[in-house]
Structure 1
Amino acid sequence: MNVRKIITLVEDTLTEGGRAVDPAARVAVVAAVIENPWHGQGFVEDLAPGIDATASDLGKLLAPRVVEALGAPVEAYGKAAIVGLDGEVEHGSALIHTLKFGDHFRIAAEATTLLPAVEKRAAAGTVFDIPLKHKTDATIRSHHQSIEVRLADAPHPGEIVIALAAAAQGRPQQRLASLSTEQ
């Protein structure tokens, strides 16, 4: 795995809807900009060797960093793969949609649900939203949220941005009724 850079973003929302948020609502993102392991190889039928060589190491690298950046117990989480223009969306999906990657975050966050994800092919500087859901119950509406991310110089055409996001709470000032009220 060839990592060009790691970016850490922490967002604290202090007011929402004209009211104070106390404690502040914190979301953290850690993104690694890596060389696409399939770059320059043409169409690769079997992605398994690249997954085996990269996915687990990425999970080990990013999961503890995002939990540390959050600085609080994780309540909601998500992931992203943004593939540079010379790659395929499948390259990003191959790295993040495997237990070899995701289980590192699940263990670090003490989570049990599937990680919500976004993946797409895009030029450097594209904006992408990482969806987040509750770490043990994806039906808890208060934790359905997203965080917008933009990396000015990534991904280059032969790179992939792999990112994890964690929130210490649900949406600030959330007030939707429980899903069970509609069932």
Structure 2
Amino acid sequence: MNVRKIISVLEETTAEGGRPVNPAARVAFVAAVIENPWAGQGFVEDLGPGIDATASDLGALIAPRVVELLGAPVEAYGKAAIVGLNGEIEHASALIHTLKFGDHYRKATSASTLLPAVEKRGPAGVTFDVPLKHFTDATIRSHHQTFEVRVADAPHPDEILIGLAAAAQGRPQQRLAALSTEQ
């Protein structure tokens, strides 16, 4: 795995809807920009060897960093994979939609639900939204949120940006009724 850069972003929302948020709502994002393991190979039928060589190391690299950056227990989480213009969306998906990658994050957060994800192809600087859901119960509405990200110089055409997002709480000032009230 060839890592060009690691990006870390921490957002703290201290007011929402004209009211203070106390404590501040924290969302962290950590991503690695890596060389696409299938770059320059044309159509690759079996992505398995690239997954085996990359996914677990990638999860081990960024999962502890996002938890540490958040600095609080993770309550909501999500993932992102943005492939450069010379790659396939399947290349991005192959690295994040495997237990070899995701289990590092689930173990670091004691999570039990599937990680919501965004994957897309785009040029350097493309904007993308990372979906987040509650880490143990995806039906908890207060934790359904997105985190917008843009990395000015990534991904290059033969790169993939792989990221994890974590929130220490649900949406600031959330006030929707529980899903169970509609069932």
Range into which the TM-score falls when normalised by the shorter chain: over 0.9
**Alignment partners' CA distance in 1, 2:7 and 2:120:** 19
Instruction: Name the structure 2 match of 1:118.
Output: 118
Match of 2:17 in 1: 17
Amino acid at match of 1:116: P
**Residue 166 of structure 1 aligns to a residue in which SS?**
strand
CA distance in 1, matches of 2:164, 2:172: 20
Cα distance, 1:70 vs structure 2: 0.1
Q: Aligned residue for 2:170?
A: 170
- Unaligned segments of structure 1, at least 5 residues: none
Task: Deviation per CA, 1:79-107: give whole Å up to 9, x if none.
Answer: 00000000000000000000000000000
CA RMSD of aligned residues (A): 0.2
Q: Deviations over 1:121-147 (max 9, x none)?
A: 000000000000000000000000010
Partner residue in 2 for 1:87: 87
Inter-partner Cα distance in structure 2 for 1:113 and 1:13 = 26
Shift of 1:14: 0.3
The TM-score with structure 1 as length reference comes to 1.00
- In structure 1, distance between residues paired with 2:8 and 2:110: 21
Counterpart for residue 64 of structure 2: 64
Aligned to 2:4: 4
Residue identity in the other structure for 2:24: A
Aligned to 2:156: 156
Q: 1:2: Cα distance to partner? A: 0.1
Q: Residues 45-81 of structure 1, C-alpha deviation per residue, up to 9 Å, x if partnerless? A: 0000000000000000000000000000000000000
Q: Which runs of 4+ in 1 moved over 4 A?
A: none
1:160 CA drift (Å): 0.2
CA displacement at 1:44 relative to structure 2: 0.1
SS across alignment from 1:172? coil
TM-score, normalisation: structure 2? 1.00
* Contiguous gaps of at least 5 residues in structure 2: none
Q: Secondary structure at the match of 2:180?
A: helix
Offset, 1:109: 0.7
Match of 2:40 in 1: 40
How many positions carry a matched residue from both structures? 183
Deviations along 1:29-48, whole A, 9 cap, x unmatched?
00100000000000000000
Indicate yes or no: 2:120 matched with 1:103. Answer: no
Distance 1:146 1:106 in 2: 19
Opposite residue 147 of structure 1, the aligned amino acid is F
